[in-house]
Structure 1
Amino acid sequence: MLKVKGLSFSYGDFSVENVCFEVKEGEILTLLGPNGSGKTTILKNVYGLLKPKKKCVFIDGRDFHSLSLKERAKLAGYVPQSHYPPFPYTVLDVVVMGLASQLSVFESPKDEHYEKALEKLRLLGMESFKDRPYTQLSGGQLQLVLIARALVQEPKVLLLDEPTAHLDFKNQVKILGIIKKLAREERITAILTLHDPNLASIYSDKIALVKEGRIRAVGESSEILREEILEEVYGVPIHILEFNGFRVIMPKTEVV
């Protein structure tokens, strides 16, 4: 289990305050909210790219941020919103880079490391791209490679910042479907940030609504995604339609 208790962080005139949530093994929690609400800041604090004000992130009861870099890499993997390498590394080399923290300073990757990287590419249906330059991939393929790079560490927790950003509808569904499958089959705890409440409703076990650096509500999507809460978070009138067991969230609009 990953537990965040009282996470607070500030820079400039923006802060996140007293963020609390729990995510069990095999569950997906989505941080959902408008641009600039603090979703990415929260995610970076959880992973340790930013330093919160006090101890607040625990994995299986262990203070995550007090662990060594090597220990943290074995527990959690991070997938950024975008990544642009300065050199045209092959896809396989990019995935192997995920093991850098487990190698000594002058140690080169061995055959076993490349085989592990191939295994993760195979898992995501990307093995045939192993020799292709990373700079020649589409947006959806890039995201899959970044996920493979995180998975090669064999983490218990996977943190993904806007994994569907800049992707078309087909690739959004593909990426989120793979994340959900990994959570179920590999028993990975996943935390991701999204903008779209409909996608969050479909692919999340839990949702945390974020506004102005605070968690406004957290729980199962059926409890959290209600018109009055969404209107307060997004600042627009919301209407929720239900049919055949599905809920569709849309803004109220007037047809002129």
Structure 2
Amino acid sequence: MLEVKGLEFSYGEFTISGVTFSVGKGEVAVLLGPNGSGKTTILKAIYGLLKPRARCVYVDGADFHSLPFRRRSQLAGYVPQSHHPPFPYRVIDVVVTGFAPRLGLFQSPGRGHYEKALEKLRLLGIERLAERPYTHLSGGQLQLVLIARALVQEPQVLLLDEPTAHLDFKNQLRVLSTVRRLAKASGVAVLMTLHDPNLAAAYSDKIIVVKDGRVVAVGAPRDVIKDDIIREVYGVSVKVLEVDGRVVVLPHD
């Protein structure tokens, strides 16, 4: 389980204040809010790329930020919002780089590392890409390879920053459905940032609505995707409907 208790962080005039929530094993949670609301900052502070004011992140009860780097990399995997591959490495080699925190200074990955990397590609349904150059992938394929790289450590927590950014509709659905399936199959706690309330409602178990660095609401999609909450956070008038058991947000003049 991932627990965040009163996360505080500031840079310039922007402040993240009192962010508190939890994500259980096998649960998919979404930090939802408009651009500039603080979602990515919160995610980076949880992972430790930014330093909160005080200790506030716990994984299975352990103070995450006080752990050695290697142990943290084993407990949590992080997938950034965007990545531009500089060289045409094979996909399998890119995934194997996820083992770097476990290898010694002069140690090279062995056969077992490559077998485990292929296993993760297979889990995500993209093992056919193993020998393909990393620079020849579509946006959706690239995101899945980055997820595979994060998974080789077999983390208990997976953090994804806008995994659907720059993807077309088909690949958005593909990546999010794969993430959800992965969470249920492996028991990993998933926390990702999104700005689309419809995608958040369709693929999450819990939504943490964020505005101006603070949490506005936390709960199941049907409990937080409400007309008044969306209006407050996004500044637009909407109508929330239920279709086939799911909430759907539509613009409403």
Normalised by the length of structure 2, the TM-score is: 0.98
| Structure 1 residues 36-115: aligned runs within 5 Å | 36-115=36-115
Q: Which residue of 2 aligns with 1:230?
A: 230
Q: Which residue of 2 aligns with 1:10?
A: 10
What is the total number of aligned residue pairs between the two structures? 253
> What's the CA shift for 1:87?
1.8
What secondary structure does 2:179 align onto?
A: helix
> What's the CA shift for 1:240?
1.1
Give structure 2 stretches of 5+ with no counterpart.
Answer: none
Q: Which residue of 1 aligns with 2:207?
A: 207
Q: CA RMSD in A?
A: 0.9
What secondary structure does 1:240 align onto?
A: strand
Q: Which residue of 2 aligns with 1:20?
A: 20
Once the two structures are superposed, residues 58-106 of structure 1 have per-residue CA deviations (whole angstroms, 9 ceiling, x without a partner) of 0011000111111011100001111113222110111000010000111
What secondary structure does 2:50 align onto?
A: coil
What secondary structure does 1:182 align onto?
A: helix
What secondary structure does 1:22 align onto?
A: strand
Query: What is the distance in 1 between the residues matched to 2:193 and 2:244?
Result: 27
Query: What is the distance in 2 between the residues matched to 1:242 and 1:221?
Result: 11
Query: What is the distance in 2 between the residues matched to 1:26 and 1:101?
Result: 25
Identity of aligned residues (%): 62
Once the two structures are superposed, residues 116-172 of structure 1 have per-residue CA deviations (whole angstroms, 9 ceiling, x without a partner) of 101101111211111111111100000010000001110000000001111111111
Query: What is the distance in 1 between the residues matched to 2:223 and 2:92?
Result: 42
One-letter amino acid of the structure 2 residue matched with residue 96 of structure 1: V
Does the 8 Å contact 2:225/2:247 carry over to 1?
no
What secondary structure does 1:70 align onto?
A: helix
What secondary structure does 1:215 align onto?
A: strand
Once the two structures are superposed, residues 223-250 of structure 1 have per-residue CA deviations (whole angstroms, 9 ceiling, x without a partner) of 1111111100111111112344332101
Query: What is the distance in 2 between the residues matched to 1:222 and 1:99?
Result: 39
Misfit runs of 4+, over 3 Å:
none
Does the 8 Å contact 2:201/2:246 carry over to 1?
no
| Structure 1 residues 77-226: aligned runs within 5 Å | 77-226=77-226
> What's the CA shift for 1:188?
0.6
One-letter amino acid of the structure 1 residue matched with residue 246 of structure 2: F
> What's the CA shift for 1:201?
0.6
Once the two structures are superposed, residues 1-35 of structure 1 have per-residue CA deviations (whole angstroms, 9 ceiling, x without a partner) of 11000101111121111110011111011000000
Query: What is the distance in 1 between the residues matched to 2:246 and 2:116?
Result: 39
> What's the CA shift for 1:51?
0.7
One-letter amino acid of the structure 2 residue matched with residue 2 of structure 1: L
Query: What is the distance in 1 between the residues matched to 2:38 and 2:178?
Result: 25
Query: What is the distance in 1 between the residues matched to 2:242 and 2:77?
Result: 36
Normalised by the length of structure 1, the TM-score is: 0.97
Give structure 1 stretches of 5+ with no counterpart.
Answer: none
One-letter amino acid of the structure 1 residue matched with residue 4 of structure 2: V
Does the 8 Å contact 2:38/2:212 carry over to 1?
yes
